[in-house]
Amino acid sequence: AQSVSQHNHHVILSEAASLELGCNYSYGGTVNLFWYVQYPGQHLQLLLKYFSGDPLVKGIKGFEAEFIKSKFSFNLRKPSVQWSDTAEYFCAVNAPRGSTLGRLYFGRGTQLTVWP
Amino acid sequence: DGGITQSPKYLFRKEGQNVTLSCEQNLNHDAMYWYRQDPGQGLRLIYYSQIVNDFQKGDIAEGYSVSREKKESFPLTVTSAQKNPTAFYLCASRTGGALNIQYFGAGTRLSVL
């Protein structure tokens, strides 16, 4: 089975600080990678995804993530966070082939708190 | 307005009672999923269904049951055998083909009285 590790359980930043949230996965084959965000009281939303091609992917609200295959990592970054980025962030991985097609494996989540 | 509708938003269960959480989607997606979210544990898969009349157990299926009689609907029953049901339950459906993206409902928060 695949597993996903998110290194930080809770990150606290001031506005305008830079953000990097770590995500590592354990699976040797081809993967699809995702970051989801859950704002307080809202649906879980897709922030960005990587399927293939350019390993640096850009998502909504100025977020980006870099897929480093050799490190099994998919870290999320934002150069300058805002108070409205306060939310819980989940990394997820999917193996696109095989009988478990479609199911996602999620990390435990990172709660980001941004102080104004 | 397309999307995934979960109801109720809040649900209370008495000891020994079965309760059913509703999930309806009008996105015409074949695959649907149920996750359980607990603080600090992320989302864990309970059951999933790739197609009507078929479903598979996820990682924490014990104490839960599902049905998939219609494409649009994937209800989850939390049975009395589930000893720790207090959690936030999320339903999702997935686009087909190469676009393997899951979309989520707003969730149901289940508590035990």
Domain-by-domain residue ranges, chain A?
3-115
pLDDT at A30: 83
Q: In a mutagenesis test of the A interface, which of B43, B55, B56, B60 is the best target, namely the one with the most A β-carbons within 10 Å? A: B43
Task: Return the structure tokens found at B99.
Answer: 């676009």
Chain B hits for A9, CB-CB cut-off 8 Å, are: 40
Contact between chains at B48 and A102 (C-beta distance less than 8 A)? yes
Nearest to A103 among B45, B101, B103 (CB): B45
Name residue A79's beta-bridge partners.
none
Torsion sign, CA atoms B7, B88, A26, A11: positive
pLDDT at B61: 97
Q: Quick check: B103 contacting A, CB < 8 Å?
A: yes
Mark A53-89 as b/e (b = at least 16 C-beta within 10 Å).
eeeebebeeebbbbbeeeebbbbbebeebeeebbbbb
The ranges of chain A with pLDDT < 50 are none
**Searching chain A, which residue's CA lies closest to the CA of residue B46?**
A103
CA distance, residue A29 to nearest chain B CA (Å): 16
Class of domain A3-115 (CATH, top level) = mainly beta
Q: Which of residues 38-57 of A touch B (CB under 8 A)?
A: 42-46, 49, 51
CA-based radius of gyration for chain A:
14
pLDDT by 10s per residue, chain B, length 113: 569 999 999 999 888 899 999 999 999 999 999 999 998 889 999 999 999 999 999 999 999 999 999 999 999 999 998 989 999 999 999 987 666 789 999 999 999 88
Contact between chains at B40 and A109 (C-beta distance less than 8 A)? yes
